[in-house]
Amino acid sequence: MKGQLEAWEKEYSSPDPLWKGPAPGISLRGSRVLELGCGNGKTLSALSHEAVGLDHSLNALLRCPTNRASLVRGEVLHLPFRDGSFDTVLLHHVLEHLVEDERVKAVEEAIRVMVPGGLMSIRVFSVRDMRYGKGTVVERNTFRRGNGIVYHYFEPDEVRTLLHPLKEIDLQEMVAEKKYAPGAVRAELVGTFSSDGR
């Protein structure tokens, strides 16, 4: 969507970029791992072995540790990789920054570059997240915040529909109460899907 790359470049050029905090535990299958929308490398740094990280923001990639990953500047809608290049593809908090037709295209591309029998790990914010509704409406459940970045909030069945060519291994909502804001929750959908069924 227009203006998104500029908004991300601005975000990552600030001394305190928004994407930080501890990285989650991640299931991997095989040795060839790709993270789409790797940002400043929080998830890449937590992986047990080397991976390829792709992001469209140069400022994000410049902040990524390079000892753990090969970095590629690119667009999730047109991946510069051959079919079946990766055993595991991570989509952690990147799909929520795309509008509907882009989400469909990004998932098609992610599946294209996975091997048959590959694994996809996904994390997105859910409609119960405390930030739902902040900003101006772009599409259903999608808002552009003051920093210009678009956020879409998912329902579980929407994730299943989007990833329908894959087999669901698990999909859970993880909810964390915010200590200093009673009643406010950070709500994420966390899932693992496999291309076994193809």
Q: Name the residues that contact ligand SAM, by CB under 6 A.
A: 4, 8, 19, 37-39, 42-43, 55-57, 60, 75-77, 92-94, 97
Least distance CB 90 / ligand SAM (angstroms): 7
Under 8 Å between Cβ of 79 and 109: yes
Q: What amino acid is encoded at 71 in this protein?
A: L
Q: Say how far apart CA 149 and CA 139 lie, in whole Å.
A: 13
Least distance CB 37 / ligand SAM (angstroms): 3
Of the pair 5, 116, the CB lying nearest ligand SAM is at 5
Judging by DSSP bridges, how do beta strands 185-194 and 167-177 pair with one another? antiparallel
Of the pair 23, 117, the CB lying nearest ligand SAM is at 23
Q: What amino acid is encoded at 115 in this protein?
A: V
Of the pair 76, 111, the CB lying nearest ligand SAM is at 76
Q: Say how far apart CA 47 and CA 27 lie, in whole Å.
A: 9
Q: How far is CA 162 from CA 23, 56, 132, 168, in A?
A: 24, 22, 20, 11
Least distance CB 134 / ligand SAM (angstroms): 15
Least distance CB 69 / ligand SAM (angstroms): 12
Of the pair 73, 198, the CB lying nearest ligand SAM is at 73
